[in-house]
C-alpha cells in the first residue's frame, strides 16, 4: 500500500503533501563542516517517506509504520528527549516560517537506522519541512530548507551540528557524492567512478549525538578557534598553524585533525574526479587514523573493525559520521563487494550492512 493510502487508512483523509528523503554516508571530512572546511558525503539507498496534513486542532499525531499506535503531542511542545522531538522541531520551524500551523497528522515510513551516523534525523526534519512548504504552496529552495533543518537541530534539539547532513540529504542522490565547501556553501556533484563500491556497515556500537560527546568536540574546536582568533579552524594561515602547534592538548590534537581532514577531503575530491582509487583509499585510511588518534572519536571495537577491513582486502575504511559508534564506510573494488561483505559480516557478529 502506498504511503498516501496508509495515511488515508490511519487518518481518514488524504495527506496535503508527501516527501521522500534519503539518509547519507560521509565518505570523508569529519567535523570539518562547522569549522569552514570541506566535506564529501553521498546519499544512501535507504530513505524516509512522510505524509502529513494539518488537522485543525492543537494536537499533533505522529505515527510510524514501524511501531503500533500513535504519539500525540501538543503543538509547540518543547523537546522531551524522544525520537518524536525531530518531528516536533521540524513543525516548530514550519510554524515559525508560516508554512504550517496548529496540529498536524503525520505518518512516517523509514528504513534509515537511527543512532547509526547516517542522518536519519536530518532526513526526517528535511522531509517534514519539504512537505510543510508544499502544503503552503511555497517553492522552497533546497539550500534554505537545509539551513532551516540545521536550525531545528541547533535551536530545538540543542545539537550544535554543522550543515553537512542537511545539505547532503537535501541535494544528493545515490550514485554520486556531494563535494561541499561549508564556508560558502558552494558544491559540486561528482559521479562515483565505475568499479568503486562504498559499503556502509553498522559496527553494532550505537551512538547518540545528543549524548554530549559530539558537543564536547564541538566546544574544543571552538576553544581552539578562539585561541587562534579565527572562525574557520580548517583554514589556518601559516602563522596560525605555528600557533596551533603551541596550543595545549587536547586543543592542539583537535585542531590538527580538522585542519588535516580538510586537506584530505580536498585531495580525496580530486582523487574521485580522477578515478584514482588508490589515492582515495589512502586518504580514507589516514582520515580514520586522525579521527581516532587526534580527534579521539573512535572506539576500540571500531578500530578493530577498521583494521580487519583493510587487512582483509578493503582498499579504504573509516568510521563515518559524528563519532563514538555507528557505521563504518568501506571502499571496495566492485567485483569483490558481495563476497567481501558476506565474509566480513560473518566474522563480526553484531555488524550488519546498512
- Which residues lie near ligand GLA (CB under 6 A)? 26, 30-31, 33-34, 161-162, 164-165, 321-322
Q: Which is nearer to ligand GLA, 327 or 331 (CB)?
A: 327
Q: Which is nearer to ligand GLA, 26 or 351 (CB)?
A: 26
Question: What minimum distance in Å lies between the beta carbon of 270 and ligand GLA?
Answer: 20
Q: Taking a C-beta distance cutoff of 8 angstroms, is the pair 81, 289 a contact?
A: no
165 is catalytic: yes
Q: Taking a C-beta distance cutoff of 8 angstroms, is the pair 20, 169 a contact?
A: no
Question: What minimum distance in Å lies between the beta carbon of 7 and ligand GLA?
Answer: 29
Instruction: Give the strand order in the sheet containing 327-333.
Output: 316-319, 327-333, 196-202, 352-353
**Three-state DSSP state, 10:** helix
Question: What minimum distance in Å lies between the beta carbon of 48 and ligand GLA?
Answer: 16
52: left (phi over 0), alpha (psi -120 to 50) or beta: beta
Question: What minimum distance in Å lies between the beta carbon of 321 and ligand GLA?
Answer: 5
Q: Taking a C-beta distance cutoff of 8 angstroms, is the pair 15, 53 a contact?
A: yes
Q: Which is nearer to ligand GLA, 41 or 103 (CB)?
A: 41
* Measured distance CA(225)–CA(108) in Å, rounded: 40
Q: Which is nearer to ligand GLA, 297 or 330 (CB)?
A: 297
Question: What minimum distance in Å lies between the beta carbon of 332 and ligand GLA?
Answer: 22
349 contacts: CB under 8 Å, gap ≥ 6: none
State the catalytic residue, choosing from 33, 49, 114, 165.
165
Angle at 151 between CA 45 and CA 146, to 5 degrees: 40
* Measured distance CA(332)–CA(341) in Å, rounded: 9
Q: Which is nearer to ligand GLA, 201 or 234 (CB)?
A: 234
* Measured distance CA(23)–CA(113) in Å, rounded: 9
User: Measured between alpha carbons, how far is residue 343 from residues 44, 69, 337, 338 in Å?
Assistant: 22, 39, 10, 9
Give catalytic residues, as residue numbers.
165
Amino acid at each position: 500500500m502506498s504511503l498516501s493510502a496508509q495515511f488515508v487508512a490511519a487518518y481518514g483523509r488524504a495527506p496535503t503533501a508527501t516527501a521522500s528523503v534519503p539518509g547519507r554516508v560521509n565518505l570523508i571530512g569529519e567535523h570539518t563542516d562547522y569549522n569552514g572546511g570541506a566535506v564529501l558525503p553521498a546519499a544512501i539507498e535507504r530513505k524516509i517517506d512522510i505524509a502529513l496534513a494539518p488537522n485543525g486542532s492543537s494536537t499533533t499525531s505522529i505515527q510510524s509504520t514501524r511501531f503500533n499506535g500513535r504519539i500525540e503531542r501538543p503543538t509547540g511542545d518543547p523537546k522531551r528527549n524522544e525520537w518524536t522531538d525531530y518531528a516536533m522541531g521540524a513543525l516548530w520551524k514550519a510554524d515559525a516560517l508560516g508554512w504550517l500551523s496548529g496540529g498536524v497528522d503525520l505518518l512516517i515510513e523509514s528504513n534509515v537506522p537511527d543512532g547509526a551516523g547516517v542522518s536519519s534525523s536530518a532526513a526526517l526534519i528535511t522531509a517534514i519541512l519539504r512537505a510543510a512548504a508544499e502544503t503552503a504552496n511555497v517553492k522552497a529552495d533546497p539550500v534554505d530548507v537545509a539551513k532551516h533543518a540545521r536550525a531545528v537541530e541547533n535551536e530545538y534539539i540543542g545539537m550544535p551540528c554543522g550543515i553537512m547532513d542537511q545539505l547532503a540529504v537535501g541535494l544528493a542522490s545515490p550514485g554520486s557524492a556531494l563535494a561541499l565547501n561549508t564556508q560558502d556553501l558552494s558544491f559540486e556533484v561528482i559521479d562515483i567512478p565505475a568499479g568503486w563500491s562504498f559499503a556502509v556497515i553498522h559496527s553494532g556500537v550505537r551512538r547518540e549525538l545528543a549524548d554530549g560527546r559530539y558537543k564536547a568536540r564541538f566546544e574544543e574546536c571552538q576553544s581552539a578557534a578562539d585561541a587562534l582568533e579565527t572562525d574557520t579552524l580548517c583554514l589556518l594561515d601559516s602563522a596560525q598553524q605555528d600557533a596551533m602547534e603551541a596550543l595545549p592538548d587536547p586543543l592542539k590534537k583537535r585542531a590538527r585533525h580538522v585542519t588535516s581532514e580538510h586537506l584530505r577531503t580536498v585531495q580525496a575530491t580530486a582523487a574521485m574526479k580522477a578515478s584514482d582509487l588508490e589515492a582515495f583509499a589512502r586518504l580514507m585510511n589516514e582520515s580514520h587514523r586522525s579521527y581516532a588518534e587526534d580527534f579521539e572519536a573512535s572506539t576500540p571495537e571500531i578500530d578493530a573493525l577498521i583494521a580487519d577491513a583493510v587487512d582483509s582486502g578493503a582498499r579504504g575504511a573509516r568510521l563515518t559520521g559524528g563519532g563514538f559508534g555507528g557505521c563504518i564506510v568501506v571502499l571496495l573494488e566492485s567485483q569483490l563487494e558481495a563476497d567481501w561483505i558476506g565474509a566480513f559480516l560473518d566474522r563480526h557478529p553484531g555488524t550488519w550492512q546498512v
